[in-house]
Amino acid sequence: MTSVLSSARIARFFQTYAVLIMIALLIVALSLMSDSFLTFRNLQNILNQNAPLAIMASAMTLVIIGGGFDLSVGSIFAVAGVSAAWIALNVDPFLGLAIAPFIGLALGTMNGIVITTLNIHSFLATIATSMVFKGVAILITDGRLIPVRIAEFTWLGRDKIGGIFIAVIVMIAFAVILTFALNRTSFGRKVYSVGGNEEAAILSGVRTDRIKIATFAIAGMAAGLAAAISVSRISMGQPGAGIGMELQAIAAVILGGTSIYGGAGAVWRSIAGVLLLALINNGFNILNADPFYRDLTTGLIILAAVGISASGQRR
């Protein structure tokens, strides 16, 4: 009995802190292999480049804790980005950046309504809506790039405050807000209860459909905010932007130890998952290694994380 309890504690420990252990090991290894890794400039660039993905992964955490998956956030990212660029070019650059999160919010809410109204699995529903949103992005741009060479448009993605990129500050603020919402509000408790046992949540009086819609709306808003940062940085709206970002966000969440079965997870661990992926990419770039090995390493690490999550669920 004691050995079973000990193995359960060890499994829970690894599920919670394995990502931090891997980050620490990577930092030590890369620091020894390259003098240019552990510098303020390199570390700041890592955070800045991955701020959009970290924002999306933070919101994806709520979706997965609530028992869902959102495979449309990459397409929402594209729609919000090209919309921001078009509005900036034809109306006002500040309005373009400001409206992107609201476009994402509207599309994310649409996802939640489709899922709850039709009562279909979020995996299938968001595959379908992602195709629709991709088509919308192409319609807005006519399949072309939208360059925005306006100084008032680039501040969000390029400027700094006190030596720190604004994008990084926005990412930290967004993660803190979501952490507070998950851990200190009734909404957060309901998200955990819906993902942990939806039937029990319904019997407890939780309006589960509203909670699901809210998590998908937040994921959409996060994709819009991430798109505003990204399009501001590169000064260009691209209908093909965001491809694969939904899978990267989900991978980061799973790497962080959030259960793929719902009901357990934390935003900070998803941020750590993004950082782990970023360190792997940065390390291979610094060492000028074959990209094949980067993908192989990343895939094996994600597979191990899913295995740990599944073993924890069985226990």
**Residue 258 covered by a domain:** no
At 205-226, the pLDDT tens digits run: 889 899 999 999 999 999 999 9
pTM, 2 dp: 0.91
Of residues 22 and 108, more confidently modeled: 108
CB 273 within 8 A of CB 80: no
Structure tokens at 107: 């599309």
Residue 315 has pLDDT above 50, yes or no: no
* Least confident interval from 102-106, 255-259, 276-280: 255-259
DSSP string, 88-111: HHHT-HHHHHHHHHHHHHHHHHHH
Sign (positive/negative) of CA torsion 264, 269, 271, 273? Answer: negative
What pLDDT score does 11 carry? 60
Indicate whether 19 belongs to any domain. Answer: no
Q: Strands 236-237 and 146-147: what pairing?
A: antiparallel
Please determine, for residue 1, whether its predicted confidence score (pLDDT) is greater than 60: no
170 in a structural domain: yes
Note the pLDDT tens digit of each residue in 132-157: 999 999 999 888 889 888 888 989 98
189 in a domain, yes or no? yes
Residue 129: inside a domain, yes or no? yes
The answer on pLDDT for 3 being more than 70 is no
Q: Is residue 306 part of a domain?
A: no
The alpha helices in 119-185, defined as continuous H runs, are: 122-141, 151-158, 166-184
C-alpha 79/C-alpha 84 separation (Å) is: 8
Number of domains in the chain: 1
Tell me the C-alpha distance between 131 and 111, whole Å: 12
Helices 93-118 and 208-234, packing angle to 10 deg: 150
29, part of any domain? no
CA angle 267, 96, 137 (to 5 degrees): 80
* Residue numbers of the domain that contains 136: 53-241
Question: Does residue 134 lie within any of the structural domains?
Answer: yes
Over range 27-50, report the average pLDDT: 87
